[in-house]
Structure 1
Amino acid sequence: MKTILRILLTAIAVVVLASFLPGVEIQGYTSAILVAVVLGLLRITVKPLLIFFTLPATIVTLGLFLLVINAVIILLADYFVSGFTVSGFWIALLFSVLLSIFQSVLYSFLNEGKQK
């Protein structure tokens, strides 16, 4: 149940961010849910491999290269989901940073209800 709720919250975050970021477009709510699922799968499978192979660059940049990896994950989601488009790398970087902030705020509501 918590996984489905996280997917829905991520889909809401994608729709909200796509509504005001100029280079991000989403065609509908089903595409947003599909983007949330694909992002979750890419974060589970591809992101650890990218982190492992780019570990020297991540160490040299003191972890800032992880932002680049997140942007690559967004661009991969753009490639796999037909109703989701991101116009370039810098927009994907901004989208990934804003999505992470937005998700942390939304997910904090889930953890807040758990502690009561």
Structure 2
Amino acid sequence: MLLRGVISLVLNAVALIAVAQIFDSFQLDGFGTALLASVILAILNMFVKPILVILTLPITVITFGLFLIVVNAIILMITQALIGPSFVIDGFGTAFIASIVISLISMILNSVVRDIRR
């Protein structure tokens, strides 16, 4: 169980690094910063995201869940603010697109690792 969580954090850090390679407006200082961002994202997703989801439930229902991408971008911007200058996202638009790409990359990486472990 603990190993699964550590693997998930590392895979999310890899996804963050991949996004930093794709977008010039998304910058990380290295793997350590990506791992720290992954840990902070996990904590925010546990405690802050549920509150944001409840607060935005009406618009989320109206948009058939697509507004959750905005919530993910907000969580990403909060993470960037907490880490400081070693993690920079140039604007909400970048955070929005990055949150989509991070989700896709993480989903693919987690699927590959899950298939390998079987």
4+ residue segments displaced more than 6 Å: none
Letter of the structure 2 residue corresponding to residue 12 of structure 1: V
Match of 1:105 among 97, 103, 108: 108
In structure 1, list runs of 5 or more residues that go unmatched: none
SS of equivalent to 1:85: strand
Counterpart position of 1:17: 19
What is the deviation of 1:28? 1.5
State the Cα deviation string for residues 56-107 of structure 1 (Å, max 9, x = none).
1111111111111011011001101121110111100000000000000000
What is the deviation of 1:5? 0.9
- How high is the sequence identity, in percent, across the aligned residues? 30
Give TM-score scaled by structure 1 length: 0.94
What is the deviation of 1:110? 2.5
2:89 pairs with 1:86: yes
Two-structure CA RMSD over aligned residues (Å): 1.0
2:7 pairs with 1:5: yes
Counterpart position of 1:55: 57
Counterpart position of 1:35: 37
| Distance across 2 between alignment mates of 1:55 and 1:23 | 30
SS of equivalent to 2:116: helix
| Distance across 2 between alignment mates of 1:32 and 1:93 | 18
In structure 2, list runs of 5 or more residues that go unmatched: none
What is the deviation of 1:113? 2.9
| Distance across 1 between alignment mates of 2:113 and 2:22 | 25
Give TM-score scaled by structure 2 length: 0.93
Letter of the structure 1 residue corresponding to residue 94 of structure 2: I
| Distance across 2 between alignment mates of 1:16 and 1:101 | 11
| Distance across 2 between alignment mates of 1:8 and 1:59 | 32
| Distance across 2 between alignment mates of 1:17 and 1:60 | 29
